[in-house]
Amino acid sequence: MSNTPTTLFDKVWDAHVVRKIEDGPDVFFIDRHFIHEVTSPVAFLGLETRGIKVMVPEHTFATADHNTPTINQHLPVEDPLSANQLKALEQNSAKYGISHWGLGNPKNGIVHVVGPENGITLPGMTIVCGDSHTSTHGAFGAIAFGIGTSEVEMVLSSQCIMQPKPLKMRINVKGTLGKAVTPKDVTLYIISKLTTAGATGYFVEYAGDVFEKMSMEGRMTVCNMSIEMGARGGMIAPDETTFSYINGRELAPKGEAWNKAIAYWKTLKTDADAEFDVEYNFDAADIEPMITYGTNPGMGMGISKSIPKGADLKGGTATYEKSLKYMGFHEDEQMIGKKVDFVFIGSCTNGRIEDFRAFASIIKGRKKADHVTAWVVPGSHIVEAQIKEEGILDILTEAGFLLRQPGCSACLAMNDDKIPAGKYAVSTSNRNFEGRQGPGSRTLLASPLVAAAAAVTGYVTDPRDLM
């Protein structure tokens, strides 16, 4: 053991390097691999063509989520192409001995929700999936990131991928968060400061008392959005909050294995004096409930502010103007008071129980605005069950909301949950790209509290006014 102070990221990364290639990537060992229906079929096709088997089937987990309907899941999937992808996932999983949580399975849900809630995601692991929001799992002190389909094939066939080691960034947020400021606001604030490419080439560690005090659900929301500033992933050192979340989950270590695991997990932190390639410091008091006004997640602002002037920003004004034109907004306008047509709560960013508790806290005793269409989509069946157990379903029903069935839904609109062209959606998801939620859709990213405030008033509303 060398005495050089090292970072959490170095500790986990270095423990997984099978071989260092000179002037090339590291051959990087993967502990857990999640697959879903959209980015895996071609990888399995590749295995077939090459005549290779899956190396460690029990370390890959399949769930159907991107392409699944969020109503009437007991009926056959209508879209033949979607049905075909779902069937391919089921057949490939069966053929290679991979556990598969398909539609109707009580463990089914969004991959980045079901991994943690079933105890698959653990500290110190390397975790990949053909989905950029795999960064979510970094909340547990894991190195987790999204990969392409060629890499899915690599993991299936060799449990390794080829990765150059990213640079290291630490983002410290210290202080106390204000009223109605949630983990989603923290991440939208950070991305608005760093821009959508500000962390490209880096792996981020989030540190400071704001994250130490944050729940696991909140940490997952923050790590989830790391990719939206270009980072490969983000991670938070595991602590008692992490351990108590994991303890007792179905696939988590038990008995002696648990004690051994905890002892190891406690070593997973950045040493004092360890160096990062770049470091940012933010003050929690500067963060207010956030909302985006443009067509990338870096175009966010405090909800009480006005849309920035293009001339005040870095980067090309032509792209900025194109973005505002798409949104139908103008420089220097207020966002508060803008009419909202759709509200979406759900996704791998904000589809966990804490998000629905927050949503319910605002809508309780109020009614959904008549002109708003609301899609309330739990991240998994386990979250759905919690919503029912905790009485949140009653609050939703009373306020005029329908609880749908789990899936990625309107976050990327692969299924029928599409926002129509020109309509405005306040969405708790992660991307506001042009057409992301349906061709021509206009997305305002925000927290579950801001989404709830929009759902009951029908306009962009500061949730602090309703609390």
348-387 residues near another protein, rule: CB under 8 A: none
Q: Give the separation between CA 51 and CA 157, rounded to whole angstroms.
A: 10
Neighbours of 198 (CB within 10 A): 18
Q: Which stretch binds another protein (CB under 8 A): 210-218, 315-323, 337-345, 444-452?
A: 315-323
**Bridge partners, residue 145, by sequence:** 128
Nearer to another protein, 112 or 381 (CB): 112
- Largest Cα separation within the chain, whole Å, is 64
- Where in 172-191 is the site for another protein (CB under 8 A)? none
- Where in 201-220 is the site for another protein (CB under 8 A)? 201
Q: Give the separation between CA 290 and CA 303, rounded to whole angstroms.
A: 5
Residue 104 binds another protein (CB under 8 A): no
Q: Give the separation between CA 9 and CA 126, rounded to whole angstroms.
A: 11
Residue 196 binds another protein (CB under 8 A): yes
- Where in 19-38 is the site for another protein (CB under 8 A)? 19, 21-25, 27, 29, 31, 38
Q: Which of 8, 35, 98, 122 binds another protein (CB under 8 A)?
A: 122
Neighbours of 275 (CB within 10 A): 14
Q: Which stretch binds another protein (CB under 8 A): 144-152, 216-224, 303-311, 355-363?
A: 144-152
Q: Which of 113, 114, 144, 154 binds another protein (CB under 8 A)?
A: 154
Do 17 and 29 touch, CB atoms closer than 8 A?
yes
> Minimum CB separation from another protein for residue 178, in Å?
30
**For residue 273, how many C-alpha atoms fall within 13 Å in the half-sphere facing its CB?**
3
Nearer to another protein, 393 or 413 (CB): 413
Nearer to another protein, 7 or 134 (CB): 134
Q: Which x/- pattern, by CB under 8 A, does the window 293-312 give for another protein? A: ---x----------------
**Bridge partners, residue 233, by sequence:** 203
> Minimum CB separation from another protein for residue 173, in Å?
23
Residue 48 binds another protein (CB under 8 A): no
Do 355 and 217 touch, CB atoms closer than 8 A?
yes
Q: Which of 369, 414, 454, 456 binds another protein (CB under 8 A)?
A: 414
Among 461, 423, 186, CA closest to 338: 461
Residue 167 binds another protein (CB under 8 A): no
Q: Which of 68, 70, 85, 350 binds another protein (CB under 8 A)?
A: 85
Task: Provide the sign of the torsion angle of the four alpha carbons 240, 245, 248, 254, taken in this order.
Answer: negative
Q: Which stretch binds another protein (CB under 8 A): 43-51, 270-278, 360-368, 380-388?
A: 43-51
Residue 115 binds another protein (CB under 8 A): no
Do 317 and 206 touch, CB atoms closer than 8 A?
no
**Bridge partners, residue 376, by sequence:** 345, 403
| Residue 186 burial (10 A CB sphere; 0-12, 13-18, 19+) | buried
Q: Which stretch binds another protein (CB under 8 A): 18-26, 94-102, 394-402, 447-455?
A: 18-26
Among 154, 232, 231, CA closest to 197: 231
- Where in 389-408 is the site for another protein (CB under 8 A)? none
